[in-house]
């Protein structure tokens, strides 16, 4: 019996979840205008996404995706998730640490400003 839950399925699922998490960390703060309680999920996502990039750690989802890719007979990738998919889209040519540092500060800075604006307006 053929199952849809193949290693390739799991690798793609992790890729999409990872991508949605990054988008949520970067832009999910906008939703706080309508759902202020969402800060309980968004703030930890921002701290994780910004912090992991600034410290230079690898998100656990990246090696997990790569393991499933390799189990599916595909090539994994080196470097981080953001670097890999930005380069794949032709958007980056900088080294990994520079990119991670810029992404980390961008996530933290953008959301810091967003939180100040939103919560000042809500008062």
Higher per-residue pLDDT: 88 or 50: 50
% of the chain surpassing 70 pLDDT:
96
The string over 83-102, giving b where at least 16 C-beta atoms fall within 10 Å of a residue's C-beta and e elsewhere, is bbbbbeeeebeeebeebbee
In the prediction, which pLDDT does 2 show?
A: 57
Q: What is the pLDDT of residues 68-94, one digit of tens each?
A: 999 999 998 988 888 888 777 766 677
pTM of the full predicted structure? 0.87
């Amino acid at each position: 019996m053929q199952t849809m839950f193949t290693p390739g399925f799991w690798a793609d699922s992790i890729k999409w979840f990872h991508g949605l998490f990054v988008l949520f960390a970067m832009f999910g703060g906008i939703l706080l205008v309508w759902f202020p309680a969402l800060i309980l999920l968004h703030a930890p996502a921002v701290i994780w996404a910004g912090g992991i990039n600034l410290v230079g750690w690898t998100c656990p989802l990246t090696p997990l995706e790569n393991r499933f890719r390799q189990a599916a007979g595909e090539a994994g990738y080196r470097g981080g998730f953001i670097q890999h998919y930005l380069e794949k889209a032709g958007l980056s040519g900088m080294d990994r640490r520079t990119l991670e540092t810029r992404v980390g500060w961008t996530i933290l800075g953008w959301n810091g400003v967003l939180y100040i604006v939103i919560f000042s307006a809500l008062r």
